């Protein structure tokens, strides 16, 4: 190993502190009593109310209607994140498979149309999307929350590029081996895309978990709230209610909301990096 100059370390340490300090402050503050926070502001060292706060947030029903706990919201967020990620991977793999391996009329223009939807983020089409979902009677359902989001230009594009790099001879060999179109997809392409699938699953889980605007307008009942919305709701209570502001709960929810994506990335980072780096043939 080469000796790295000390200045490099210092820059790295400052960068790391810069990234992690807010998280630490949020955590430390969440373990104090609301009175302390109100009186003294943000806390840099953990207080004595860890169990109290987290127990209350996780298991005591709160919110405007006093109907929802963080556990419920965690569950909802998890369903959204996982459903979103799996849905995106399945849909975009199938779309990319069709685009790369089947010669059909308008295949190329269709691909570019899909690709161009990248230019139209959800925010732009949120009213028509809402209209469609509302007319289908899917408001306040998990299906309505997930399905409109799973069409993915990014995923389709990644898989398309990957499939294009798979040598044609593999397809030809499989055809001679009597593989059907479906068989080639399941037996050859899916296993070859393993690391790619893992990487996209992870990215999409995090993206799905962090969805804010869509779940916000899609859910009206508190028991359908995701964690990210829950945080927002608590702040709203803080501002409007006459009670003592529950800052520690808001921070606890924030910490809870960051944990799952962090865990997913930590646990699967080996696959994740492999999927992004590897050009496996």
Partner 1 sequence: MAQVELKQVRKTYPNGAEAIFGVDMQIDDGELIVFVGPSGCGKSTLLRMVAGLESVTSGDILIGDRLINDVSPSERDVAMVFQNYALYPHMSVRGNMSYGLKNRKMDKAEIERRITDAAKMLKIDQFLDRQPNQLSGGQRQRVAMGRAIVRNPQVFLFDEPLSNLDAKLRVQMRIEIKKLQRRMNVTSIYVTHDQTEAMTLADRLAVINEGRVEQMGAPMELYSNPRTLFVASFIGSPAINLIPVRFDGTSLLAGDISIAGFSGLPKDKDLVLGVRPDVLTVSDAGQFAISVDLVEQHGGENLIYGSLSGVSADNGDAQEMCLKASHDLLPGIDEKMKLAFNPDDAFVFEKDTGTRLI
Q: Which two tokens stand for residue 222?
A: 């508190």
Q: Closer to partner 1 at the Cβ: 195 or 233?
A: 195
Using the CB atoms, write b or e for 134-153: b if 16+ within 10 Å.
eeeebbeeeebbbbbbbebb
User: H helices of the chain, where?
Assistant: 6-30, 34-40, 50-59, 70-101, 107-116, 126-135, 142-146, 153-165, 168-176, 181-184, 190-192, 194-209, 213-218, 227-240, 247-277
Contacts of 42 by beta carbon, 8 Å cutoff, 6+ apart: 25, 28, 29
As a whole number of angstroms, the distance between CA 86 and CA 132 comes to 22
Smallest gap, in angstroms, from Cβ of residue 90 to partner 1?
20
Smallest gap, in angstroms, from Cβ of residue 176 to partner 1?
5
Q: Is 33 in the site for partner 1 (CB under 8 A)?
A: no
- Of positions 35, 131, 177, 278, contacts partner 1 by CB under 8 A: 177
As a whole number of angstroms, the distance between CA 187 and CA 272 comes to 22
Q: Closer to partner 1 at the Cβ: 52 or 172?
A: 172
Say if residues 130 and 149 touch (Cβ distance below 8 Å): no
- The interface mask with partner 1, positions 73-112, x = CB under 8 A, is ----------------------------------------
Smallest gap, in angstroms, from Cβ of residue 172 to partner 1?
5
- The interface mask with partner 1, positions 111-150, x = CB under 8 A, is ----------------------------------------
Q: Which stretch binds partner 1 (CB under 8 A): 16-24, 35-43, 154-162, 164-172?
A: 164-172
Say if residues 18 and 211 touch (Cβ distance below 8 Å): no
- Give the position of tokens 């990487």: 199
Q: Is 25 in the site for partner 1 (CB under 8 A)?
A: no
Q: Count the Cβ atoms, other than its own, within 10 Å of residue 2.
A: 4
Say if residues 114 and 100 touch (Cβ distance below 8 Å): no
As a whole number of angstroms, the distance between CA 32 and CA 49 comes to 5
Residue 68 forms beta bridges with which residues?
62
- Of positions 188, 207, 217, 237, contacts partner 1 by CB under 8 A: 188
Contacts of 88 by beta carbon, 8 Å cutoff, 6+ apart: 149, 150, 152, 155, 200, 204, 208
Q: State which of positions 242-281 bind partner 1 (CB under 8 A).
A: 280-281
Q: Which stretch binds partner 1 (CB under 8 A): 141-149, 188-196, 217-225, 232-240?
A: 188-196
Smallest gap, in angstroms, from Cβ of residue 280 to partner 1?
7
Q: Closer to partner 1 at the Cβ: 39 or 281?
A: 281
- Of positions 28, 139, 147, 192, contacts partner 1 by CB under 8 A: 192
Q: Is 164 in the site for partner 1 (CB under 8 A)?
A: no
Q: Which stretch binds partner 1 (CB under 8 A): 30-38, 85-93, 165-173, 255-263?
A: 165-173
Q: Which stretch binds partner 1 (CB under 8 A): 65-73, 172-180, 199-207, 243-251?
A: 172-180
Q: What residues make contact with partner 1 under the rule CB under 8 A?
A: 167, 169-170, 172-180, 183, 187-188, 191-192, 194, 280-281
């Amino acid at each position: 190993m080469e000796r790295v100059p000390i200045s490099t370390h210092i820059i790295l340490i400052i960068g790391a502190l810069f990234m992690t300090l807010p998280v630490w402050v949020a955590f430390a503050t969440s373990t104090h009593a609301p009175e302390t926070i109100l009186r003294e502001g943000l806390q840099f060292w953990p207080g004595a109310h860890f169990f109290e706060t987290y127990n209350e947030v996780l298991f005591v029903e709160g919110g405007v209607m006093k109907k929802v706990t963080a556990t419920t919201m965690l569950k909802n967020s998890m369903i959204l994140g996982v459903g979103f990620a799996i849905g995106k991977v399945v849909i975009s793999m199938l779309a990319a498979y069709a685009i790369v391996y089947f010669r059909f009329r308008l295949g190329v223009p269709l691909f570019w149309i899909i690709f161009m939807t990248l230019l139209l983020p959800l925010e732009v089409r949120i009213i028509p999307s809402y209209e469609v979902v509302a007319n289908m009677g899917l408001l306040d359902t998990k299906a309505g929350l997930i399905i409109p989001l799973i069409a993915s230009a990014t995923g389709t594009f990644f898989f398309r590029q990957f499939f294009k790099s798979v040598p044609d001879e593999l397809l030809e060999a499989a055809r001679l081996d009597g593989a059907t179109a479906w068989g080639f997809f399941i037996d050859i392409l899916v296993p070859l895309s393993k690391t790619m699938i893992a990487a996209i699953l992870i990215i999409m889980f995090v993206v799905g978990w962090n969805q804010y605007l869509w779940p916000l307008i899609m859910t009206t009942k508190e028991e359908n709230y995701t964690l990210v919305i829950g945080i927002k709701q608590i702040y709203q209570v803080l501002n409007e209610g006459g009670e003592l502001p529950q800052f520690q709960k808001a921070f606890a929810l924030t910490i809870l909301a960051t944990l799952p994506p962090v865990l997913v990335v930590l646990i699967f980072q080996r696959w994740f990096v492999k999927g992004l780096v590897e050009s496996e043939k």
